Amino acid sequence: MSTPSNAGVGSFTDVAFDAATFDPDRFGLSTAVVDADVYERSLERFRDQGIVLPTFAQLADPSTIPDDVVASLAGVDRNAADARNLFRCHWYNDLHGGTVDVPDHVVLTEAMTGVPSPIIVAFGNRFPMIGAHKVLAAYACLVPRVVTGQYDPTVHRAIWPSTGNYARGGVAISRLMGCRGVAVLPENMSRERFEWLEAWISDPGDVIRTTGSESNVKEIYDACDELAKDPSNFILNQFTEFANHVGHHEVTSRALSHLYRHHAEQHPGLRLAGFVAASGSSGTLAAGERLKDDHGARIVAVEAVECPTMLYNGYGEHNIQGIGDKHIPFIHNVMNTDVVVGVSDRACDELGMAFDTAEGRARLSAAGVSDDVLDALGHFGLSSICNVVASIKTARELDLGPDDALVTVATDGGEMYGSERESMRAGRYAAGFTDADAEAALAAHLWGADTDHVEVLDETGRNRIFNLGYYTWIEQHGVDFEDFEVRRDQAFWRHVQSMGPDWDAAIDEFNGRTGVRSA
């Protein structure tokens, strides 16, 4: 690898994307069969186990899933290790195994948020097996590798590095797709994550606990580097897998667009002002790309104030489990990001207590928050609360009004954080969570959320954040300089985003050759 001597701030290299010379293998984006022998073994495994793969198009619009597949799901527990649950990896589930016409969501109004802009929140805990939308990302990362003969389910262990939900999603998808999954995650993540893994993994060695907590992603990478020395381990790193980006661009963006259009029909003149998502792997942020193209929405990336990498090139440790971690993910299209917002983990912890207690809900009710919103508060995990607070700060910074909607996601639900609330009760609220505590939390973090730690990006800001990735990807991981730089060019991202239909064709071909559907 060589780096041009004139590269640096103020003298950006001109590495333009050229579709004619683009090598998809360099980015894990192959659409053709790479290894025919591996492909044949995968066909045999899927044929023997009766596995049918959904396309991205079917997950984006579940009404297109074949009737016989839908009928077969009727008797399948949504949380079972049953391959048919692959067809539930979409945003149109309810909590009971059925489907809905419009993705389950809640609209937060001014009574709760203190801002006039409606904040539309899609619920991720409707996804099967893990109760979080990261199961979609895991499927998006593994399925292209299978249908192009790169991943061999008879040989490879699928390694899923994550701070929790993606690792759980990877383990679930691995079992459903007839292979073995390994979770790599920090040892200090919520107890509920590890309890889930213990129930799904038969070999304790397939849960690898790395040092630290949410912000210790480098330690996860280091563990994967060691695992990669064994050729039977196949690393599916959500921070570098462009299929993660494609999956959300194909599936999540369309679900959120549907939500916006649903409300725009009820409120003529409503515009989509922005899409807000915390940056963990940056996969979910890819949904903003389509929302920006189709509706003009700004893309708002969120991180913890305690680890302010994008905002201040900073570092630290935080407890908003599932978001930003001292580096810029390789699949983050930084040059198309419009706003960066920092949120404190204290806000998420304290609001989590308020949302979970009678004291907090009573104060919200007294403020005029409707019963349907109060009933939905259990569906907000820590990063979900983070996204809501960031949406409020964005609305204030951009001076948005009642006709300016923001859309965001509740990545997972409060059920994943009971142990975190136990810790809060044993520590900060050892004397009890009082009415005064609820009032203080809501006043400070919802109604009093300010515009501190918000940056509306210009080209200088975007380039600053982009350049920060150099140290992770080139200096630490040896990415080729041209492969790093080409990601400045939006033509590169448009090409990546166009690959969904090619993978769908490969999935259809694979399903046809297994013969499971016709049998």
Question: pLDDT tens digit string along 193-224?
Answer: 899 999 999 899 999 999 876 677 888 889 99
227 alpha carbon, distance to own chain's centre: 24
| 298 within a domain of the structure (yes/no) | yes
Select the highest-mean-pLDDT range: 14-23, 137-146, 425-434: 137-146
Is-contact 59 89, C-beta < 8 A?
yes
Q: Using alpha carbons, list the distances in angstroms from residue 381 to 92, 415, 483.
A: 19, 7, 36
Instruction: Give me the domain span that covers residue 435.
Output: 105-126+248-459
Closest CA to 167 of 144, 145, 189, 143: 189
| 88 within a domain of the structure (yes/no) | no
Mind listing the pLDDT tens digit for each residue in 446-456? 999 999 999 99
Q: Are strands 404-410 and 119-123 parallel, antiparallel or unpaired?
A: parallel
| 176 within a domain of the structure (yes/no) | no
Amino acid at 302: V
| 323 within a domain of the structure (yes/no) | yes
Measured CA to CA, the distance from residue 458 to residue 267 in angstroms comes to 32
Is-contact 411 124, C-beta < 8 A?
yes
Least confident of 11-15, 64-68, 285-289, 493-497: 11-15
Give the per-residue pLDDT at 422: 87
Give the per-residue pLDDT at 12: 60
What is the percent of the chain where pLDDT is above 70? 97
| 392 within a domain of the structure (yes/no) | yes
Mind listing the pLDDT tens digit for each residue in 431-445? 999 999 999 999 999
3-state helix, strand, coil in the chain (%, to 5): 50, 10, 40
Element at 423 (helix H, strand E): helix 418-426
Domain count, the chain: 1
Give the per-residue pLDDT at 214: 67
Mind listing the pLDDT tens digit for each residue in 388-397? 999 999 999 9
Res. 484 pLDDT band, cuts 50 70 90 = very high
Domain at 272, CATH number: 3.40.50.1100
Give me the residue label for tokens 């991943």: 151
Does the pLDDT value for residue 4 go beyond 50? no
| 349 within a domain of the structure (yes/no) | yes
Measured CA to CA, the distance from residue 401 to residue 53 in angstroms comes to 43
Give the per-residue pLDDT at 207: 94
Give the per-residue pLDDT at 14: 76
Is the Cα torsion angle 5, 6, 10, 12 positive or negative in sign?
A: negative
Does the pLDDT value for residue 45 go beyond 60? yes
Give the per-residue pLDDT at 114: 97
| 360 within a domain of the structure (yes/no) | yes
Does the pLDDT value for residue 5 go beyond 50? no
Mind listing the pLDDT tens digit for each residue in 64-119? 999 999 999 999 999 999 999 999 999 999 999 999 999 999 999 999 999 999 99
Give the per-residue pLDDT at 324: 64
User: Across the chain, what does the average pLDDT equal?
Assistant: 94
Measured CA to CA, the distance from residue 253 to residue 287 in angstroms comes to 4
Mind listing the pLDDT tens digit for each residue in 363-382? 999 999 999 999 999 999 99
| 95 within a domain of the structure (yes/no) | no
Q: Beta partners for 304?
A: 343
Closest CA to 249 of 20, 66, 28, 495: 495
Measured CA to CA, the distance from residue 240 to residue 139 in angstroms comes to 15
Mind listing the pLDDT tens digit for each residue in 240-288? 999 999 999 999 999 999 999 999 999 999 999 999 999 989 999 999 9
CA-angle at 255, arms to 345 and 65, nearest 5°: 130
Res. 177 pLDDT band, cuts 50 70 90 = very high
Give me the residue label for tokens 């694979």: 510
Mind listing the pLDDT tens digit for each residue in 309-349? 999 999 988 878 777 678 999 999 999 999 999 999 999 99
The structure's pTM equals 0.95
